[in-house]
């Protein structure tokens, strides 16, 4: 019972984070590029579907050839919720929503943290509701968040008037810094003890 309660709590937390993330990325609607409404609809729909997937879990519905129509329709709906990668669609739609706005580095940084929190909560709801299972990831996540702050800080610096080539170089430099940071971190791999 306590396991089911913890799982329900994690699902509710994921729902809250999804709502906050989408709202944070979509607002303010004024001044955004065209396509905001489409991206918002896709983000909301995929968030609802992915949360439904989390709530249903792996519970089996129907399966008997003599099931009544209602059960068969429910089983088909569950299959539709389970098969497509709704969470991934939601991530893409949310980042697209943010990209449709003008540049606002700190706002985007907060969105990145919220998205990461959503991913971790969804993972807990899906596999194990014990937050302790995420402990091994925490040092690496902290390093990643440090890089996020560095990148956002770099983006927030006043930029000199320059052409698009200079901007692209700046982006590539940040990406290279992120990748180098990732590779430079000490890995947790240990020697293999198996014969």
- Return residues touching another protein (CB under 8 A): 3, 64, 85, 87-88, 91-92, 95-96, 98-99, 103, 105, 108-109, 111-112, 115-116, 119, 122-123, 126-128, 130, 132-133, 136-137, 140-141, 143-145, 147-152, 154-156, 164, 167-168, 170-175, 178-179, 181-183, 185, 187-195
Q: Which two tokens stand for residue 2?
A: 């306590």
Nearer to another protein, 28 or 186 (CB): 186
* Rounded Cα gap, residues 123 and 191, in angstroms: 28
Contact indicator for 121, 14 with CB cutoff of 8 Å: yes
Task: In angstroms, give the least distance from the CB of 37 to another protein.
Answer: 19
Task: In angstroms, give the least distance from the CB of 45 to another protein.
Answer: 17
* Rounded Cα gap, residues 41 and 16, in angstroms: 17
CB atoms under 10 Å from CB of 11, counted, come to 23
Task: In angstroms, give the least distance from the CB of 53 to another protein.
Answer: 9
For residue 173, give Cα distances in angstroms to 22, 159, 168: 29, 14, 8
């Amino acid at each position: 019972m306590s396991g089911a309660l913890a799982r329900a709590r994690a699902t509710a937390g994921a729902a809250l984070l999804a709502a906050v993330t989408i709202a944070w990325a979509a607002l303010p609607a004024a001044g955004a590029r065209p396509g905001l409404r489409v991206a918002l609809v896709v983000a909301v729909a995929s968030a609802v579907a992915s949360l439904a997937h989390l709530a249903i879990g792996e519970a089996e519905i129907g399966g008997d050839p003599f099931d009544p129509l209602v059960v068969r329709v429910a089983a088909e709906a569950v299959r539709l919720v389970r098969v497509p990668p709704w969470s991934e669609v939601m991530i893409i739609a949310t980042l697209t929503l943010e990209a449709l706005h003008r540049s606002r580095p700190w706002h985007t940084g907060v969105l990145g943290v919220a998205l990461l929190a959503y991913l971790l909560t969804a993972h807990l709801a899906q596999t194990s509701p014990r937050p302790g299972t995420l402990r091994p990831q925490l040092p690496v996540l902290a390093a990643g968040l440090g890089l996020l702050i560095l990148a956002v800080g770099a983006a927030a610096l006043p930029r000199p008037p320059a052409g698009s080539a200079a901007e692209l170089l700046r982006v590539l430099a940040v990406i290279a810094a992120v990748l180098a940071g990732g590779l430079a971190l000490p890995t947790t791999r240990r020697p293999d003890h198996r014969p």
